[in-house]
Amino acid sequence: MKKSSVQLVEVGLRDGLQNEKHQFSVGEKIEMAELLIAAGVRRLELGAFVRPDRVPQMTGSAEIIKAVLGKYGSKIQGSALVPNETGMTAALETPVKEVAVFASCSESFSQKNINCSIEESLARFESVFQAARKNKIRVRGYLSTCFACPYEGKISAKKVVALARRLYKMGCYEISIGDTIGVAGPKDVEELFKMLKKVVPVAKLAGHFHDTRGMATANTLAAYQLGVRVFDTSLGGLGGCPYAPGASGNVATEDVVYMFDSMAVKTGLNLDRLLAANQWVKSKMGKELPSKVGRVGRLKPLGKVEHR
């Protein structure tokens, strides 16, 4: 019988660090990437080509991409966020072969995050797609606030589906569905992905679940049960968007690997090495990371207990 498998897209170096006060040096980010690759990570975001005054944590993305792809290029699928032509021009000066555009399902979040309306953002992506086609670069698409927006509240699933369809038609090879503020539960995920599957092949959909309310592993499982096989995860459960107040980290890579290991679903990742990488990040940041499995590790029996 064919074993089930999933692909995890490690977003720890981008989503994970973009909202952290602690600033990692370029050298430290390269070391973090190497620890992740040693743990089996093959798809990972290495940075973002956005305004350094808006997200200073992403400064140095070009150097990181050059170093990591220079060493591991053929072995890994490295990517970077690109919001517009300026970002794409910067990306083209690196060896990156995949970029990710990001749009929102709510007008307010779009304005706060990328300083334009949803329609304007899609128009801006046209030049990104043109350059991508010319330079043989894959484009992934993110949709944010797919369940709710921190400014507008609940978002209509119909709107999400229509935008996912447009991103797919524009040429995104995969659409990552973001619960930006971690508000969805498994039933919401089931309902939305059932609708999405009707317009975008399920093999082209990914889940991007933030864990603000502790639902992210449950949401990952709900999407898996509907046939989704690609999930964005972040080492240690770090993450959050500077323009999504109140949102906390992404679902932790360690927690998702632990869950899929327990179901005999292959991730290609080594939990012990991820736990070692978690310890490294923790020592650099000087604080415990949110990941549950990252905190306690595997089961370690405490000794025999006398039962009366």
Q: Which of positions 232-261 make contact with ligand HMG (CB under 6 A)?
A: 241
Min separation Cβ 306 and ligand HMG, Å: 49
Min separation Cβ 251 and Mg ion, Å: 10
Which member of 32, 208, 234, 271 binds ligand HMG (CB under 6 A)?
A: 208
- Among residues 188, 126, 192, 134, the alpha carbon closest in space to that of 161 is found at 192
- Among residues 140, 260, 265, the alpha carbon closest in space to that of 200 is found at 140
Active site residue 172: no
Applying CB under 6 A, the span of 1-9, 65-73, 81-89, 130-138 interacting with ligand HMG comes to 81-89
> Number of helices (H) and strands (E), helices first, in the chain?
11, 10
CA gap 294, 26 in Å, rounded: 24
Q: Which amino acid is at 49?
A: F
Which member of 83, 141, 237, 290 binds ligand HMG (CB under 6 A)?
A: 83
**Residue 144, interface with ligand HMG (CB under 6 A)?**
yes
Helices within the chain (DSSP H only): 26-38, 61-72, 85-92, 107-114, 118-134, 157-170, 186-196, 216-225, 253-262, 271-285, 292-296
Q: Which amino acid is at 155?
A: I
**Residue 113, interface with ligand HMG (CB under 6 A)?**
yes
How many C-beta atoms lie closer than 10 Å to residue 84's C-beta? Answer: 21
Site string for Mg ion, 1-40 (x = CB under 5 A): --------------x-------------------------
Min separation Cβ 209 and ligand HMG, Å: 9
**Residue 178, interface with ligand HMG (CB under 6 A)?**
yes
Applying CB under 6 A, the span of 82-90, 158-166, 268-276, 297-305 interacting with ligand HMG comes to 82-90
3-state secondary structure of 292: helix
Which of Mg ion, ligand HMG, none binds 275 (CB below 5-8 Å, type-dependent)? none
Q: Give the up-direction half-sphere exposure of residue 305: CA atoms within 13 A in the CB hemisphere.
A: 4
Tell me the pairing of strands 153-154 and 174-179.
unpaired
Would you state the structure tokens that stand for residue 14, as one six-digit string? Answer: 């981008």
Give catalytic residues, as residue numbers. 241
Binding site for ligand HMG (CB under 6 A): 15, 18, 48-51, 54-55, 81, 83-84, 86-87, 102, 113-115, 142, 144, 178, 180, 208, 210, 241
